[in-house]
Amino acid sequence: MHRPTGSGIIRLLPAYFEGMGGIMLRGFEIACIGISTVLQVITVYIAFRLVPIRRWKTAWAMICIGVFLMCSVKVVRLALSIWEPGAVTLNLYQEVIELLISAVLLIGIVLIRPLFVQSRRAEDVYQLFVQKSAQGLAVYQNGRIVFCNPAFAYLTGQTSEALLSLTDQQIASLFHPFDRETVMLFLHAKGIETPSQKREIRILNKRGMVFFLEAFFSRTFFDGEPAVQMTFVNITDRKRVEQDLHESERRHRIISQLTSDFIYSATIDPQNMVHIEWVSGAYERITGYSFEEMNLKGLSWIDLSHMEDKLKSVEAYTYSLSNQPVVIEYRIISRHGEVVWLRDYLQPIWNDAEKRVTHIIGAVQDITNRKVAENALRESEARWRGLAENAPAIIATVDPQYRVQWMNRPISRPLGEVIGKDFHSLLPPSERSKIHRALKAVFTNGAQQHHEVEIHGGDGQSSWYEVTIGAIRQEEQITSAIFVMTDVTERKKAEEQLKFLGSHDVLTGLYNRAFFETELRRLQNSRLYPVTIVMTDVNNLKLTNDEYGHAAGDELLRTIAQVMRESFRSEDVVARIGGDEFAILLPETDAEGAQAILKRLTEKLGALNAQERPIRLSLAIGAATGEQDSELVDVMKKADNLMYEDKARQKRLQG
């Protein structure tokens, strides 16, 4: 083997060192790329940690993405340089410069990081104390609102964008008319005292609500120019509470001035003497004395008591010392000599340490008007009850359910069985519907009702009552009905008697001539044809009167009348039209039917004559029948003529 000589080795050294230098140079280049990549990765990490800062979020994110892309390219170049040395051409100067730039970026990021952190904290503070604040914040500059937070937008009921576009006049309209001048004076003032000016104002919400605000106006700068900062604290709830409290106090003052009550506090000494130490309310108005005047004159409450009630007052206070509350009504004599009725509520206060009552709290109510009204009511009630109980009428009151509330005397049942019962149960069934309608009308419209009712008593006797039903009102409301029932039985009997006498013959009880003629006219225009008219005359009446007297003659007429009642039908009109003349109307009766009835009459007379009688019963009879087109007056004349013919015939037979 050929061995190089010394001079040959020397000649190879430059080439060797040139080869070794290339390797070292490439290694240095790769190291620069690696270190630069690591520095950029660290830079990207720190940069991305700073991205959440809202104000610079978009721009800073783009920077981070650019650095990240550079870092990614570096990583790819580094990998290719290691695994495929000839695939990537490296430039030592370029890599050194990039390494220096990466180092400068990292140092710059590290140096500005505290500024970013401080900015992020400022952003958080801004969000916490401005955007999320419950206080309304706004900045006014050059006739415009240039900034407002959501709380101020809520107070106005408008959006933030709308508020920022308002003119000066529109800004003034946000506030209550009474507060606009004050607000605008502050906004237009050239200089506002430091630190701020406070006013209570009202703002008109777009939704119709009114907010009470505590407003603070202060000078500030916005975008480098002077401005006015407005801070609004919502005090609506507080103002409402204050207004309610003020109204409550106002009402309390009015009530204290107008009420007839007063409260007092009294101390009890060891000797059980009562000393009033404090009074309130209408004490002076009721007594005529001020509390100070009472003390100066040495007057006690007992001194004002009415002579008849002094003992009662002392007993009440004595009883309260046993730790028992007391309610007492008594009279006092006021300074002006007036008698004043009081209702005193005494509440003792027990002292556990001393084992006795040491205080009394009292509430006194002026009940003079009530007492006067009660006395007047008692007197009125006594008078009314006396009148009602001694009235000749039956008086009762009925509630809206028609139950009897009170009655001065019974009708058909004892009072104990009547009170609380339905009033209709006191009436016969035939009268109930009529009274029910009357009661309903009274409770509906208060109209007075008048009726007559027939009531059957426990003894079987019937009584007639004239009933007047009226309404009883309380505070314009109908609360009950009053019945006034006057016994008109005798009057009804008299009326019936008069009515009977107007149509009947007194002696015989048959219909009289007036009624007969009325019925004759009625039948003339009726459809009850054929109509038969019977005319009769009592024979021997004059002879009976002459021989036996008029009493015997009257008895004869009554007997004839009774026979006629028994012989004719109920629908027939049997009347005495003269001294000894009788006339009978037979509706819907032809001549044949009339003859059958007259035959019955003759048979009854014959049966009576068959008995031993001092006077024979005898009648002259004439009958005529009229048809639809007949004049009944003419028929009556015809019957009357036939009767006289029969009378003459009977005389010829007797002669």
Between CA 297 and CA 167 the distance in angstroms is 74
pLDDT at site 483: 83
| 97-111, 287-301, 337-351, 606-620: the lowest-pLDDT one | 97-111
Which residue's structure tokens are 């958080």? 124
Reference 575, options 561, 587, 588, 589; nearest CA is 561
Kindly report the CATH number that applies to the domain delimited by 259-372: 3.30.450.20
- Where does 399-545 show beta strands of DSSP type E? 404-407, 449-456, 462-474, 477-487, 531-538
Three-class secondary structure of residue 626 per DSSP: strand
pLDDT at site 2: 47
Hey, where are the domains in the chain?
Answer: 12-127, 133-238, 259-372, 391-492, 504-654
Fold of 133-238: Beta-Lactamase (3.30.450)
CATH architecture of 504-654: 2-Layer Sandwich (3.30)
**High-pLDDT (> 90) share of the chain, %:** 9
User: Which residues 6+ apart lie within 8 Å of 499 measured at CB?
Assistant: none
Say whether pLDDT at 13 is over 60.
no
Between CA 564 and CA 583 the distance in angstroms is 10
Say whether pLDDT at 568 is over 60.
yes
pLDDT band at 595 (very low <50, low <70, confident <90, very high): very high
pLDDT: which is higher, 355 or 248: 355
Q: Are 435 and 427 in contact (CB under 8 A)?
A: yes
Sign of CA dihedral 429, 435, 439, 440: positive
401-449: pLDDT as tens digits: 888 888 877 665 554 567 888 887 778 888 888 888 888 888 888 888 8
Give the pair of three-digit tokens for residue 488.
Answer: 């008109």
Q: Are 199 and 215 in contact (CB under 8 A)?
A: yes
What mean pLDDT comes out for the span 569-594? Answer: 91
pLDDT at site 636: 92
Between CA 277 and CA 299 the distance in angstroms is 13
pLDDT band at 59 (very low <50, low <70, confident <90, very high): low
Say whether pLDDT at 574 is over 50.
yes
DSSP bridge pairs for 327: 345
390-410: pLDDT as tens digits: 666 788 888 888 888 888 776
H helices of 270-352, where?
283-287, 291-297, 301-304, 310-320
372-386: pLDDT as tens digits: 888 888 887 777 777
DSSP conformation class of 403 = B
Fold of 391-492: Beta-Lactamase (3.30.450)
Domains 259-372 and 391-492 share a fold: yes
Three-class secondary structure of residue 501 per DSSP: helix
Model pTM score: 0.38
What mean pLDDT comes out for the span 552-563? Answer: 89
